Amino acid sequence: MKTTLKMSVPAMVDFLTGIGSASTFVSMETETAPKLKKTCPFRGVIKKAIVQGWLNVDYKRKVEKMVGEALNVPAKDVNYELGDVWFRHVAGDNGNPSPVVVNKTKDDGKFYMFYFHRKTKEAGYFDETGKAIAYEDLKPHFYAKSSSEYKPEVRAVCLNNLKKLKARGLIVVGKK
């Protein structure tokens, strides 16, 4: 039997900073507002999704492994230098970086969960009235994504947008 806990954002921060630094598989339900071009005729668009991913994966090591595999050389022979990022990790109970990040240039009071995206199991888009919008109708209004075969897809979801999180045998449900 799974244990379900209702948590506020501060309680989620405590939970996520306290789970340690071991790699952890997670499944989550999110509700986010995608970035759309001003030409988009739909207003108040919300994306509801069920997503799977990993917390606490060493990004530098993961990139070095992917580059090594692509170039057919050992990962230990690859030296990837981390670039500047918009966030900083919040230290966990053990002093190591946790999956919780905050914006390092502006104090907006928001906490984000940084994770390595594995797959999106389900996703749907809805307008401000709750009416479903087909992805194909929205597709021309999304900004182009940048990606690299040498880098893993990482995401940060605002904890306010995390509706349900399954991790380490617990189910955490967000509450206001």
Coil, helix or strand at residue 125? strand
pTM for the full predicted model = 0.89
Q: Which residues contact 74 (CB under 8 A, 6 or more apart)?
A: 68
Closest CA to 81 of 98, 67, 99: 67
pLDDT tens digits, the chain, 176 residues: what are they? 678 889 999 999 999 998 878 889 999 999 999 999 999 999 999 999 999 999 999 999 999 999 999 999 999 999 999 999 999 999 888 888 899 999 999 888 999 999 999 999 999 999 999 999 999 999 999 998 877 888 889 999 999 999 999 998 889 998 76
d(CA 89, CA 135): 33
Nearest to 154 by CA among 101, 106, 91: 101
Distance CA 61, CA 147 (A): 18
* C-alpha span between 157 and 169 (Å, rounded): 21
At position 56, the amino acid (one-letter code) is N
Domain extent listing, the chain? 3-171
